[in-house]
Amino acid sequence: MSKHEEADLILKLYDLRREATMRKARDWYFRDFNPESMEDINKALFSEHSGYVRMVWTYWDMAAALVNHGAISLDLFSDTNGEHIGVFLKAEPFLAEIRANFGPNYLVNLERLIDASPDGRQRVAAMRERMKGVRARLAAQAAAAKSN
């Protein structure tokens, strides 16, 4: 595949991320979806947010498949994306349970992409720690605003 064709795929992926429902799904996923157990995942998957979780997971798994199969180079994808790491970090602790409940190939492309990326699992762990800090700061701000 030519660099021009790869660039076109990257831009198409970006356009898909800007679609109105996808934007809402991504906003909810990163702001409000912070699973701490498989029960939390099931609650989301069997709620009004089910479509959001499935949309975000299947989008990034599809994008990862494009990389894994050579349609987009790992370098180009990594240089233009990082959100997939945040998506994966929320599912990673529960992958075995997710796959036991929903099928053995669930998020397999995304996991392969993470593992193929230089320092992929370390990047996931580092982002997880950063997100814990962000959530703690947001909780402190909310508590302070509530007490005022």
User: Average pLDDT of 107-112?
Assistant: 98
The answer to which of 20-29, 86-95, 132-141 has the lowest mean pLDDT is 132-141
- Residue 148 pLDDT more than 90? no
Quickly list DSSP for 84-129.
Answer: HHHHHHHHGGGHHHHHHHH-TTTTHHHHHHHHHSTTHHHHHHHHHH
Q: Give me 82's structure tokens.
A: 């990082």
* Sole residue written with tokens 């959530």: 135
Per residue in 33-85, pLDDT (tens digit) is 999 999 999 999 999 999 999 999 999 999 999 999 999 999 999 999 999 99
Is residue 25 within 8 A of residue 51, CB to CB? The reply is yes
Q: How many CB atoms lie within 10 A of CB 60?
A: 26
- What is the pLDDT of the chain when averaged over all its residues? 95
| DSSP letters for 19-63 | SHHHHHHHHHHHHH---SSHHHHHHHHTSTTHHHHHHHHHHHHHH
